[in-house]
Amino acid sequence: MEMVEEGYVDKIQKKKMKKQSMKGQITPLTGKNYKQLLSRVEARNAKLEQLREKDAGKARQVEEKMKWTNMLYKAEGIKIKDDENMLRTSLKNKEKRRAQRKKNWNQRSENIVEKMQQRQDKRRKNIQRRKQVKTEKKKDKARKKGRVLPEDLKKATV
């Protein structure tokens, strides 16, 4: 019973710790999901622009607050990714890498299929050759015993 309660308390404590770790109700722009980060940065910039049009002082305060929170996150060792141009280039590079990997995978799968086909063809040819050799041996044995085969008759008439 006590274990369950401690686990429950831990969940509550975790939530509190998470709230405390978020500086100024701004979640840090971190992670590798560049598309999401870019959309968040663009949305933030759009909000700031709207705020600038309405109230320049308030916009300056919000900007200052964001700068300070980012500085605090950086001081903790968290990498903040809020540069739009860098995010765009990173996203483009990620997409290029993904496309390259896909291309390589397709090429590899095509090569595998091609090699399998070549092996099957080779196997088929070898089986046919063995079959032909076997029939030739049988015919030679039959000729040795003195039998006359239909193809021998055709050769004799021509």
**Residue 126 burial by CB count (10 A; 0-12/13-18/19+): exposed, middle or buried?**
exposed
- What pLDDT score was predicted for residue 5? 52
Does the structure show a pLDDT above 60 at 3?
Answer: no
Of the two residues 85 and 4, the one the predictor is more confident about is: 85
Interval 71-98: pLDDT, tens: 998 898 989 998 999 999 999 999 999 9
- What pLDDT score was predicted for residue 130? 98
Of the two residues 24 and 28, the one the predictor is more confident about is: 28
